[in-house]
């Protein structure tokens, strides 16, 4: 019943750190950096275009790394890996930090909309 590759759920927190670090290194590889730069240029900082151009490239780069750890080489594999990492984030600050670095590589910084709670607060106190 055991397969040649380890089942994704069997990754320990330490293994997840190693895989996260490898994924981050993969984004730094010259050929991948060029691919990401081209995708970002095509997206023009538009969130819809980011999903269209940047996310698929980022997903491919992650797939190339995580398939060696038993994750399927498709979008579902990336989602399973992301869920696994998320499950360790609260327990392990290093995983949370690495996860944040990974997300920053392909997600634009989120800015708060200018319409927040007004100074003085009109929010009802309980």
What's the pLDDT at 2? 36
Name residues whose C-beta falls within 8 Å of residue 15's C-beta, 6 or more positions apart in sequence: 69
112 in a structural domain: no
In a domain, 115, yes or no: no
Q: How many structural domains comprise the chain?
A: 1
Exposure of 60 by Cβ count < 10 A (0-12 exposed, 13-18 middle, 19+ buried)? middle
Q: How far apart are CA 46 and CA 53, in angstroms?
A: 10
* 23 within a domain of the structure (yes/no): yes
Buried b (16+ CB within 10 A) or exposed e, 73-91: eeeebbebbeebbeebbee
Q: Is the pTM of this model over 0.85?
A: no
123 occurs within a structural domain: no
- Confirm whether 27 is domain-assigned: yes
Residue that has been written with the tokens 């290194």 in this structure: 25
The answer to the question of residue 19 being in a domain is yes
In this prediction, residue 46 carries a pLDDT of 85
What angle, rounded to 10 degrees, do the helices at 93-106 and 75-89 form?
140
- C-beta atoms surrounding 38 within 10 Å: 13
Q: What is the mean pLDDT of each run of 10 residues along the chain (126 residues)?
A: 44 94 96 94 86 91 94 90 94 94 79 55 49
Could you tell me if residue 51 is inside a domain? yes
Whole-number Å distance between alpha carbons of 1 and 9: 15
The pLDDT of residue 49 is: 87
pLDDT for residue 48:
87
Range of the domain at 93: 13-106
What pLDDT is stored for residue 112 in this prediction? 55
- Is 21 a domain residue? yes
pLDDT value, residue 119: 54
């Amino acid at each position: 019943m055991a397969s040649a590759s380890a089942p994704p759920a069997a990754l320990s927190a330490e293994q997840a750190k190693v895989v996260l670090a490898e994924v981050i290194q993969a984004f730094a590889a010259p050929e991948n950096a060029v691919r990401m730069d081209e995708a970002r240029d095509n997206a023009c900082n538009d969130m819809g275009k980011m999903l269209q151009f940047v996310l698929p490239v980022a997903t491919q780069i992650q797939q190339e790394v995580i398939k060696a750890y038993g994750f399927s080489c498709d979008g579902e594999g990336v989602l399973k890996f992301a869920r696994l990492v998320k499950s360790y984030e609260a327990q392990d600050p290093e995983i949370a930090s690495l996860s944040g670095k990974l997300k920053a590589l392909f997600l634009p910084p989120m800015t708060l909309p200018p319409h927040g709670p007004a100074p003085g607060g009109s929010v009802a106190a309980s």
